Structure 1
């Protein structure tokens, strides 16, 4: 091989390398960290569906990466740091307990954009986003209160944070409206995803007389426990959980993250990303109501869908007075609706719910 040929080949290879490097730099890299496995059938599953929607929308222009089952706490900070060091341009942190790790790592990587789900701490390169799940809980509460025969509704809580407390209150208010005799029994699982704990909680509630189970945990284990019991209805959490339809699962709350993820990735791609706070619900399509099965009486189904439409249009707010707090003190006057600040920091039960909120 002549010197000239070797030189030209080397020059061509170098040029190709530069072109490949430039192409790699042009590709936007988007990371996701998940609190559970992508196959949990609930919360993490739907976030991962959003990630897949990003890949489909942007094709080769975007690369996505994810790490699943990341504990909330110091390990999350390690995973986030590694993701940023590996060249992520945008990172979605998809659980409440990632809030402080997100803020801490974002301060070290000012050129990386971060999006934290369900949190309230922001900075120049950290946005927050969440869904008004309490709107879906209102619809579930209406169905649950209408269908319970024992008048006992069980609720599996994950952690006693405002998001979960809002959901309990909203479901209770709307169950109570259609059934004044209804009683809520609440078990705190202290986990987002632990099928064994969730199943045990469901079984304990059923043993206490609950014939309806609501959950703010992520697995389908409560559905399986209800199915085994035979006379209990449930609602899918975060995803449709339709494999348990038409009974025990009679409807669901579906978290639709895909439009938000696509919009925020596009903002990074085109250079328009800014730190924002997003809190959308049924009207914006971030919260969906899964198909109501025929196990639900036609009249109750029609009422539930009408309630959904009223919430979506803004004609009705699920927290509308008169409402009192658990201790009997006045909260909302007749026709008054709760403000977002109170809802975001909610740390109390409404009147009629028994038991204390763990501290």
Structure 2
């Protein structure tokens, strides 16, 4: 004890300094990304005009605000809602990924495992093909959200046996529900016409274009509430990392924590994809990368995941809008291009260091 205690005490300041440095870097990167994303586009606007327009919209007297009303309205009606949506969606997906990795005890877990993404895609496709009132943006978003949450709850109910769930059973049930939702999506595509198919495919690729303030408000309400709940549960996730049996001996009600966490993941991911479509790998890449740098403590991990997810999606959206002249890349496609190789690297790294994974 006398040998290990000084070593442990010596590591704590280094961990704290590293965590503070990561949070500072993420914060600066996020601020720069927000300013750049607001200023850069088909209509170029200076950084000072962006700051002035933001201040003017909040009721502040700013001499930096753009004199041209078109620029001011472009910022507040198009750019600012899109930037705000990218912040919220990135934060929601990253926190959902951190929670998934905590309850599965596996750093390679991500929200799509429990069927939320495939369920949301099926719900959105049904709304698009049905036409009428369901074809509107709110109708599509509502059914996408309900589809994602419903698929996740279905996975949990089907995986539950004798009052408890096992991680392996939950994973295999999620694979089955994903396959069923994929078959349902294929059926809906077959039933729709050409225009419906194009719209469904475009929705699946993911986009932040067309974001509006009332949509941002709905996503913000669910995301902020979800992040607060995740932070409250962070200490319990630390106990769960010791193992289910050990955590149970310490007074943790594992099954209750698991159902609350799965519902939390469904709400966060459903809210994120309802208005933007499927945006893959954010929930895997961000919390895993932060854990590699900051360690496994879930309070700091969740807080840093909020910043990391928001930063990643702001910069990804900026690149998606500006990489191709006169066109916009689907942001889901872009995150998959980045996340796919990173996921492969994680698999190789886990296999080399551990001979596999549990």
Bigger-Rg structure (1/2): 1
TM-score normalized with structure 2 length: 0.29
TM-score normalized with structure 1 length: 0.29
Structure with more relative contact order (C-alpha pairs < 8 Å, separation 6 or more): 2
**Structure with greater strand share of residues:** 1
